Structures are given as structure tokens and as C-alpha cells.
Amino acid sequence: MSDIFHEVEEEVRRERFEKLWKQYGDYIIAAVALIVIAVAGFKLWQRYEDNQRLKASEELIAAQEAAEGGNPGKAAPVLAALAANAPSDYDTIAKLTQADVLIGAGQRDAAVGIYKSIAAKNSGPIGDLALLRAAWAVVDTTPRADMQTMLGKLAQDGNPWRFAAREILAYADLHAGLNKQAQSEFKALGDDKDAPEQLRRRAVAMVQYLANGGATNYGTVPQLPEPPAAPGAPGAPLQIVPPPVPAPAAPNGTPTP
């Protein structure tokens, strides 16, 4: 008897499944097809993104090498295109490199504008690096208080960029004529074991430079006397050329050669 009940149960279950399939089978097939298409499309998009990133990376490296090799004219259009169209992060690095090229070309204001735009949009390490480069570009022409406002957050304890920011602020004090304060700040950087070794060496060199009076004005260089004017030029002394002396005559009355 149990076998009969089992067969009946299986038959009822099969009939229910067939009924459900007739009602919803097309929807199930469509849903499965959509899932397969979505997965395939995602894989294709990933491959496309990877190819775009690889292409952007190669173009960016080539542009950087061109700029470092003294050919900024070749690098500029490539960097501009990458800054406008490259995938995320690569466009930011391209803008940063573009600003570096502008600095090298003497276009400081344009470069600083790019640095500040990167810092405003990127709160991570690249944004902080852009802010530091902007600070170096304007430190000679910006009041010390404004430099403190620009770099105050980066110079705080615990910030990974604090040593670089403090070096710029020390230079700002030196540029403002606050030599003792600058010397103290450079000394603190040189003595800090956590600071990068290259930065510490620069700081120690600045301390020695200031200790030796490198920032003191020792007077002006005396003016050299003006060179004499060329003969015949206005203001040149008059030169009197004596007439040629005739050669002595030979015994027969003809001049000797």
C-alpha cells in the first residue's frame, strides 16, 4: 500500500510542477537568460575597463618619460587627453603630471590652479600631495600666515605628510626673514628620527647654512668700472695718428724701398 501512496504523491507533484511550468516557465527562462547576459556583460565590461586602464597606464608612463626627458611639448597633449578621458585615478595622476610640466615651463599660476583643484576633489594621499606641490609653488610669494592656513592640517602630529609640510613652513619663515625661528624648525626636523632620511639631511644642511650666516646680508657687490669706449665711438678719447715718416733717399736721389 505504501508504494501506491508514494506513486500517487509523485504523480500529484508532477502534475503541479507541469501546471506551474506552463504558467511561469517563460518567465523563468527569461530570468535565467537575463542573469546569463548580465554576468557576460559584466565580464566584458571588466575586460574593457582593464584594457582601458592598461592603455592609460602605458600612455601616462610615456608622457612622464617625455616630460622628464626634456620634451614637454610632446607630453602636454597626451596628459591633457588623459586628464579628460582616462579612467578614475589615472585622470588624477595625469592632471598632477600636467601641473608638474606647467611648473617646469614657468606657468606657475596654471599649475597651482590644477594642484588646488585636485586637492579639493581628492581627500586622499594624491590630494595631499597636490596641496604640498601647490604650497612649494607659492611659498615665495605667499604670506606666512596663509601658508599656515594652507598646510595646517598636514603639519599636525600623526599626519603622514607632516614632515614635508613642516619643511615648507620652515622655508616660509626663512623667506619672511624669521631666521632664528626657521633655524629652530629645521633643527627639529633634522633631529626627528621618524622623518625621512633625505628630508633630515636637507634640514641639517639648512641649519648649518643658517648657523654660518647664510641668510645674512653682507652688503652689496661693488660696481665694476665701465669699460672704455671703443675708438671712434661717442665719448671715446680723440686719437691723433702721427703722419708717416718718409724713407731716406738713395745716393742717386730715388727713395730706398
Q: What is the DSSP letter of 255?
A: B
- Give residue 15's pLDDT: 73
pLDDT in tens, the chain (257 residues): 556 656 656 766 777 767 777 777 777 777 777 777 777 777 776 676 667 677 777 777 777 777 666 777 777 787 778 777 777 777 888 888 888 888 888 889 999 999 999 999 888 888 999 999 999 999 999 999 999 999 989 999 999 999 999 999 999 999 998 999 999 999 999 999 999 999 999 999 999 999 887 666 544 444 544 544 444 444 444 444 444 545 555 555 555 55
164 domain residue, yes or no: yes
CB 108 within 8 A of CB 120: no
Which three cell numbers mark 17? 510542477
- Amino acid at residue number 13: R
- Considering the entire predicted model, what is its pTM? 0.62
H/E segment holding residue 12? helix 2-68
What pLDDT sits at residue 150? 93
Cell of residue 150, nine digits: 594652507
In a domain, 183, yes or no: yes
Q: How many domains does the chain have?
A: 1
Is 66 part of any domain? no
Cell numbers at 133, concatenated? 606641490
Q: How many helices (H) and strands (E) does the chain have?
A: 9, 0
- Give the amino acid at 244: P
**What does the pLDDT read at residue 244?**
52
The grid coordinates listed for 196 are 625621512
Domain span at 170: 140-213
Residue 173 belongs to a domain? yes
pLDDT at 187: 96
Q: Does residue 52 sit within a domain?
A: no
Dihedral sign computed on CA atoms, order 43, 47, 49, 53: positive
Question: What pLDDT, on the 0 to 100 scale, is given for residue 30?
Answer: 77
Look at residue 87 and tell me if it is in a domain: no
Count of CB atoms within 10 A of residue 124's CB? 9
User: Quick one: pLDDT at residue 66?
Assistant: 73
Give residue 230's pLDDT: 46
Question: 124-133 — which CB contacts under 8 Å span 24+ positions?
Answer: 125/160, 126/89, 126/92, 126/93, 126/96, 128/154, 128/161, 129/96, 129/161, 130/96, 130/99, 132/161, 132/164, 132/165, 132/168, 133/96, 133/99, 133/100, 133/103
Residue 61 belongs to some domain of the structure: no
Q: Does 44 reside within a domain? A: no
φ/ψ of residue 229, rounded to 5: -70, 150
Q: Which three cell numbers stand for residue 88?
A: 578614475
Angle in degrees, CA 17, 18, 22, rounded to 5: 115
